[in-house]
Amino acid sequence: MTRSAELIEKAIALAQAGKQREACELLVQVITADANGVFAYAMPRAGWWSFAALVEGDKQMANPDGEKVPVELGGLIWVQTVDMK
């Protein structure tokens, strides 16, 4: 089993045990960027890592019930890291 699969299995077990906070912390980390969108993060191990950026858009759109709701704009980047030798 891959490390990612192990983490997902562990997160599922935590969630099923009623430990949703611990499950989320295992899979999702929130970092902040400066006004220019610059951020830093050191990946603790080799593997594929994704970074998502979300901001609230200037316009609203209708949800399925026809109500106006905020729109999030986002981007995603994937980075593959390898162990240093």
| Interval 8-67: pLDDT, tens | 788 788 888 888 777 777 677 778 889 888 999 888 888 888 888 888 889 999 999 999
CB under 8 Å to 1, separation ≥6 — which residues?
Answer: 9
pLDDT score, position 11: 78
Q: Running DSSP on this structure, what letter comes out for residue 8?
A: H
Provide the residue type at 81 as one letter. T
Provide the residue type at 6 as one letter. E
Q: With contact defined as beta carbons under 8 Å apart, do 57 and 74 qualify? A: no
pLDDT score, position 65: 95
CB under 8 Å to 51, separation ≥6 — which residues?
Answer: 39, 41, 76, 77, 79
Distance CA 39, CA 85 (A): 26
| Interval 61-76: pLDDT, tens | 999 999 999 998 888 8
